[in-house]
Amino acid sequence: MTTVKEIPAKLVAELRAKTGAGMMDCKKALEEAGGDIAKAEELLRVKFASRAEKRADRAAGQGVIEIYLHFNGRVASMVELNSETDFVANTAEFKQLAKDLALHIASARPIAVRIEDVPADVVERERRVARAQVAEEKKPDAVKDKIVEGKLKKFYQENVLLEQPYVKDDKVTIGDLVKGLSGKTGEKVEVRRFARFELGGN
């Protein structure tokens, strides 16, 4: 296995630039990944996500409100991104995430931040539509139920902010980005709310 000493400083610097993780975290991830930068990036993502989950119950009362206005003046979005301290809220990386989220919201049109925020009547409507679509298929009920749940999951991935693939990199979700920053900063980071406006829309 490749040891820390064998990992070139240039590779560590490259991983740092890509992930924003600390020097030691990058070295350890590269060592564990045997020098494979893509694998190391994945290891860091998992590590940051698990760190973020440990902070889920903390209060996040600081943060920023970011506004995005599309160049044609017809679409705009506003997002509130929270952290535990203003120290983290004032970092360039935190502000950049808020900017990225505002742009994503304008482009991807989410209807809620989290799955639990989707109104119950909307979930029920989607479930009814999915059931009607599979009703005619000659499959056992257990299989039909799984298909319905699969369709619901797809609905969430398309419409719930934290479940949506990021518009600039569809290999990661918005939830991954938020957890990643939480893991890096050592604080709870969360999207509190957003609004999206489109000229002539509802």
**Residues 55-80 pLDDT 10s:** 555 666 789 999 999 988 999 999 99
The side-by-side arrangement of strands in the sheet containing 190-198 is 62-69, 75-83, 190-198
Better-predicted residue by pLDDT, 39 or 163: 163
The answer to whether 35 and 27 are in contact (CB under 8 A) is no
**pLDDT at position 33:** 87
pLDDT in tens, 79-137: 999 998 889 999 999 999 999 999 999 999 999 999 999 999 999 999 999 999 888 88
Better-predicted residue by pLDDT, 33 or 108: 108
- The CATH H-level (homologous superfamily) assignment of domain 4-54 is Ubiquitin-associated (UBA) domain (1.10.8.10)
Q: Does 62-114+160-198 match 4-54 at the fold level? A: no
Sequence spans of domains, the chain: 4-54, 62-114+160-198, 119-158
Find all residues with CB under 8 Å of 59, minimum gap 6, and list them: 84, 188
**pLDDT at position 4:** 44
Q: Helix-strand-coil percent breakdown of the chain, rounded to 5?
A: 55, 15, 25
**pLDDT at position 55:** 52
pLDDT in tens, 150-168: 999 999 999 999 999 999 9
Class level of CATH domain 62-114+160-198: alpha beta
**pLDDT at position 61:** 72
The stretches of 109-192 forming alpha helices (DSSP H) are: 120-135, 141-159, 174-185
Using alpha carbons, select from 111, 101, 115 the residue that is nearest to residue 167.
Answer: 101
What is the dihedral sign for C-alpha 134, 112, 177, 180? Answer: negative
Question: What whole-number distance in Å separates Cα of residue 163 and Cα of residue 197?
Answer: 21
**pLDDT at position 20:** 62
The stretches of 8-56 forming alpha helices (DSSP H) are: 9-19, 23-32, 37-54
End-to-end CA distance of the chain: 58
The answer to whether 47 and 28 are in contact (CB under 8 A) is no
User: Cβ–Cβ contacts within 10 Å for residue 162, how many?
Assistant: 20
pLDDT in tens, 178-201: 999 988 888 889 999 999 999 987
**pLDDT at position 44:** 76
Better-predicted residue by pLDDT, 18 or 1: 18
